[in-house]
Structure 1
């Protein structure tokens, strides 16, 4: 840019935080709008892939992330017969390659603590819409903010700002969701493995080691149990007992981990959206993170994609003199990578979360042998690590 921009960032999640760090370092003036009265983490633990870790490395935060998180060396998933459906080791992709399980709180605090401009956050401000020219933000009470040279819409999967003419291609709620919680990892022996267990396509249980929370040095696991969306919405104490019973049948080794869960209120609900945009920019507004490409968490790429978006945006603006070509470069740079994972997510999710029982048989018979074929295994590892950027 020929001059520093006045940029509004809407949403202070991972995409918004990373944007603040990268754009602030480039000298742009930032104003952040966050609807929560006290900004903080939202959502389950997650798996940082090599792509996301590369962004943290650039920000100088890798060592702190490694200290908070849990290094993951392997993804292992099996069906009820004990047959391996997925068994991938990061080291087979590249020497020294690994994933990093983290809690949302740990990453939020890491990014928040690295940004010196936190006084620029207007918390408790819900932005509902954009002005017709895309230069002003308007909150729920009709108050206008701006004008801004650029607006970064990082307001999440349920974004209100992307509802502009010609922007959204598809937007729908997935019919499946999950219940999740954090569990102490002291009695769990598989500290470096993301474990999943599949009961057909209707039930999936997962345990992801995620390292420390901010309030304790103890180690934790993210437990998740997938269910149809209606059952997630109606989850109560009776449903908790059914879940506990099913866990004892499907995965007895994991059942003791739930001893401390006595009420359904100790678990959290997660519902997911499938969002595809015709364009990730509109006037001088750019959509990043889940606001631009929310998808099923089956491939575990959401946080990583948000970090990559913020990095690509900062780089595109730095490499061009004017805003329009900078935004066009950002759009082109992210289009193929995001598109590949959107399509893969839409294709693969029904194999693990759906009521199509016959897909489970196909999955269980095909995935294991396919994963032992060198070329196919290499492609599967690229998908896992987030490094698949071309179809062929």
Structure 2
């Protein structure tokens, strides 16, 4: 079920990694999928102090699509929902928001939800909580995430893209700017120290525009188009994971089980890997008489939790040096060790390409 009438919302990250593209290829849908509007990024370039280093190169991946595709997430979700409509048992409830669990004999047997027409109840042998980092179902199941220390917050905004524009994906300095080519515009993410947005707003829009232009001089001729804080959307980064992903009748996956930092854009792709593992491992249990056991649900967590833990440790540890810890910090003046390592050892870009592009434990369709 979806709490919205459609998928037309600004999801901002919108990265489809090689691991996800490979799954779509395994389903036989890749040619149709790639006809949707998208741009391709075959590597990740980081620029600090005028020096550019390739941090991740996907070209050596043994997959159908060795690149990250930037595609509006509403297009991705519409595509997948359309494919799912071919299955007679599939039903997508739109404008339907889960509010509580239905329990009987100590286990969840469905959910209560609100709709425009009034409340509804949906009964199920298994409730899968894929409702994000602020999961209602997780809370109602009594599952409490353990929070990590987020390295940053992110300010999202758009600026027009002009023909011939070229910018590195990641530009460090006074702050950090991630630039995503959307064809007609740049999707921009300005990374700041956690909880620093109030200080930035207090300094005023001219100072913010100067920060952006200082990181991306090519945008200096259009930063004046940021004329209201309403155009700047804050993402409060929350990194957390559940020690236990399940209760009788309930399983959490994706951000509901392990909220990720936006670093590397891996969140949605890790969630998709969770979903594939869940389908592969639980299909036999759902097809046999009865309901999935606690051991069945624990099997999903056992398979997927290590990948989430390693990815979060990578985001919070290795990558955090690329992001400023203070608004006065300038990473171009104090080059972080990870930048020096990748400049000295170019083969690391292929290792990072596999880590970001495929993840720790890529899943595949069951044979």
> Could you tell me whether the CA contact under 8 Å between 1:181 and 1:268 is conserved in 2?
yes
Q: Give the alignment partner of residue 16 of structure 2, picking from 43, 48, 52.
A: 48
Q: What TM-score, normalized to structure 2?
A: 0.80
Q: Write the distance in 1 (CA, Å) between the matches of 2:191 and 2:323.
A: 7
Q: Aligned equivalents of 2:331 and 2:45: distance in 1?
A: 19
Does 1:311 find its partner at 2:279? Answer: no
State the match for 2:42 in structure 1: 73
Please give the root-mean-square deviation of Cα atoms over the aligned residues, in Å.
Answer: 3.4
Q: Deviations over 1:147-206 (max 9, x none)?
A: 32010111111112223677334036836311213444333533xx75111116xx1111
Verify the 8 A CA contact 2:53 2:342 in the aligned structure 1: no
- Structure 1, unmatched stretches of 5+, are 1-31, 212-218
Alignment partners' CA distance in 2, 1:329 and 1:360 = 45
Residue of structure 2 in register with 1:145 after alignment: 121
Structure that is richer in helix per residue: 1
**Does the C-alpha gap of structure 1 residues 172 and 242 become closer, same or farther in structure 2, counting only changes over 3 Å?**
same
Distance 1:87 1:343, change over 3 A: closer
Q: How many residues of Structure 1 are paired with residues of Structure 2 in the alignment?
A: 346
Measured in 2, the distance between the counterparts of 1:112 and 1:194 equals 33
- 1:209 equivalent in alignment to 2:174: no
* Residue 246 of structure 1, aligned match among 211, 214, 217: 211
Task: Summarize the Cα distance change of 1:362–1:38 in structure 2 as closer, same or farther, 3 Å threshold.
Answer: same
Alignment map for 1:255-274 (pairs within 5 Å): 255-258=220-223, 260-274=225-239
Give me the whole-angstrom Cα distance separating, in 2, the residues matched to 1:235 and 1:358.
16
Paired with 1:269 and 1:282, the residues of 2 have a C-alpha distance of 33
3-state SS of paired residue (2:138): coil
User: Aligned residue for 1:159?
Assistant: 135
Distance in 2, matches of 1:110 and 1:352, equals: 35
Relative to structure 2, which stretch is displaced further, 69-78 or 364-373?
Answer: 364-373
Distance 1:381 1:120 in 2: 35
Task: Give the one of 99, 110, 127 matched to 1:136.
Answer: 110
1:83 to 39, 51, 71: 51
Secondary structure at 2:153 match in 1: strand
The corresponding residue for 1:197 is 171
Please state whether the residue corresponding to 2:281 is helix, strand or coil: helix
Deviation at 1:280, TM superposition (A): 1.9
TM-score (norm 1): 0.75
Deviates more, 1:233-242 or 1:302-311: 233-242
Q: Measured at CA, do residues 369 and 167 of structure 1 come closer, stay the same or move farther in structure 2, by a change above 3 Å? A: same
For the Cα contact (< 8 Å) 2:101–2:108, is it kept in 1?
A: no
2:365 aligns with: none
Q: Which residue of 2 aligns with 1:389?
A: 361
Summarize deviations over 1:268-302 as a string: whole Å, max 9, x none: 22122112111222211111111111111112101
CA distance in 1, matches of 2:77, 2:141: 33
Equivalent runs, 1:8-27 vs 2, <5 Å: none
1:336 alignment counterpart: 306
Which deviates further from its counterpart, 351-360 or 34-43? 351-360
State the partner residue of 2:78. Answer: 109
